[in-house]
Structure 1
Amino acid sequence: MALIHCDFFSEALGLNTSMKVILPQETTNQIGMTGKKAKGPYPVLFLLHGLSDDDSAWIRRTSIERYVSEMGIAVVMPQVHRSFYTDMEYGQQYWTFISEELPAVARSFFPLSNKREDTFTAGLSMGGYGAFKLALRHPDRFSAAASLSGVMDIAGFESRSGEPYHDYKLIFGNKEVAQSDDDLFTLLKKVNSSSGEKPKLFQCCGTDDHLYEENKQFNKACAETSFDHVYEEDDGQGHTWDYWDEKIQKVLNWLPIVKKEE
């Protein structure tokens, strides 16, 4: 695999930002790494970080590079700070960046497929929310999305710990988030009632996670739709990297990657 760090100027954000990118590489001389022969354009997974992390988190805390080495897939990991993948009321336009600018920039730099069948997204915690928001707002672009211990109830996030979440007002201002396009439950219903394509959804959470109850509620909401939806809950698991390192492997095996002829 080739691991690339990219610094670039974002027009949407009006500032310099960064992303990490893993690209397929056939190799015979890397110890323990075989790689896979693959022709571009490559299928691509947009892999999103959590609230306290950055574009390096998945690389530093899991073995994602090794896990994808024989899959012939590219992985794009952007930096969005604490934005919840949203155009902030008092801050930067991170939704515009992640949904419009990032895919265009990444595809201009690297041979990445722009086909829906080759485009996926996944994330943990805040990134799980971002991944499902991407796929549910743009079901025409993403064929699959995975949320690992995701924030599913963004409308209730402000007061979850009993005190207002200090960045919430910076992100959403006084906006009524429930019933809006920032609310995953609302987006799920909207896409389900449409006649268009629906992304496959993978959702998991540990029973000891502080986000467990809202993940159960989202799973219940999915069960009332026609979505192809996989839900897994794991006894005794919390909000930890050990759990996400294990589950991202399952997500990768679950992705509906279309095999290309050599």
Structure 2
Amino acid sequence: MAFIDCHFFSETLGVSASMHVILPQPTTTQIGLESRVVKAKHPTLFLLHGLSDDHTIWMRRTSIERYAAAYGIAVVMPAVNRSFYTDMAAGYKYWTFISEELPALARSFFPLSHEREDTFVAGLSMGGYGAFKLALSCPEQFAAAASLSGAVDVVELSKQRDPVEFGRVFGDLDQVQGSRMDLFQLAKDVAQEEGIKQPKLYQCCGTEDFLYADNLRFRDHCRDLKLDLTYEEEPGSHEWGYWDHKIQAVLEWLPIR
């Protein structure tokens, strides 16, 4: 695999932005790494960080490069600060950045596939929210999405966390439920929309995680809507040992062609 520490200017944000990228490389002599290339334009996983992290965290806390090598998949890991992947009420337009500008720029810089069937998104905690938000808002762009210990219920979470910070992100918190920032509403919209390809969804959460109850509610909501959801749970908390383990399950689950 090739590893790129990429810094670029974002027209959307009006500031310099960063992402880590790993790209498949065919090798036969590299010790300890099984690597292959699926096609010239690589299938791509956009891998999102959590609230207290940045674009470096997946490389620092997991063996994502080694895991991805066996699948011939590129991995793009952008930085979005504490934005919840949202056009912030008092801040930057990170939703426009992550849903429009970043994929276009990444594909212009690197040999990444433009096809929906080759495009996936995953993330942990805040990034799990971002992954499902992307796939459910843009089902024409993403074939599959995975949430690891995701902050899937931002309405409930905003009641437990700093309302001032959440207000800077989402605006009037009384208006979040039922909006395009509410995953429960987005799931309902996708389930009811005719003539679209619904993304495959993968959701996991440790049973000792503080977000476990929220994840159960979202799981049941998706099942009631009959969305294509794979759900897994096991003992675990909100920590990197769990996520290093589960990102391997995500890669195995992805419908890589």
Q: Please state which band the TM-score falls in when normalised by the shorter chain.
A: over 0.9
Kept in 2, the 8 Å contact 1:26–1:34? The answer is: no
Corresponding residue number in structure 1 for 2:181:
182
CA distance in 2, matches of 1:82, 1:227: 29
Matched, 1:96 2:96: yes
Corresponding residue number in structure 2 for 1:170:
168
Structure number having the greater helix percentage? 2
Corresponding residue number in structure 2 for 1:253:
252
Matched, 1:241 2:240: yes
Q: CA deviation at 1:39?
A: 3.0
CA distance in 1, matches of 2:188, 2:38: 38
Alignment of 1:193-208 (within 5 A): 193-195=192-194, 196-208=196-208
Kept in 2, the 8 Å contact 1:157–1:165? The answer is: no
Kept in 2, the 8 Å contact 1:136–1:187? The answer is: yes
TM-score (norm 2): 0.97
Q: CA deviation at 1:165?
A: 4.0
CA distance in 2, matches of 1:128, 1:38: 26
Other structure's SS at 2:159 match: coil
Corresponding residue number in structure 2 for 1:54:
54
Kept in 2, the 8 Å contact 1:89–1:173? The answer is: yes
Q: CA deviation at 1:3?
A: 0.6
Q: CA deviation at 1:28?
A: 2.9
TM-score (norm 1): 0.95
CA distance in 1, matches of 2:214, 2:122: 18
Corresponding residue number in structure 1 for 2:10:
10
Q: C-alpha root-mean-square deviation of aligned residues, in Å?
A: 1.0
Question: In the TM superposition, what whole-angstrom CA distance separates every residue of 1:202-247 from its partner, at most 9, and x where no partner exists?
Answer: 0000111000001000000011122111111112x10010000000
Q: CA deviation at 1:22?
A: 0.5
Percentage identity across paired residues of the two chains: 59
Alignment of 1:18-57 (within 5 A): 18-57=18-57
The structure 1 segments of at least 4 consecutive aligned residues displaced by more than 3 Å after TM superposition are none
Corresponding residue number in structure 1 for 2:191:
192
CA distance in 2, matches of 1:190, 1:37: 36
- In structure 2, the CA distance between the partners of 1:165 and 1:246, relative to structure 1 (3 Å rule), is farther
CA distance in 2, matches of 1:174, 1:189: 22
Structure 2 gap segments, 5+ residues each: none
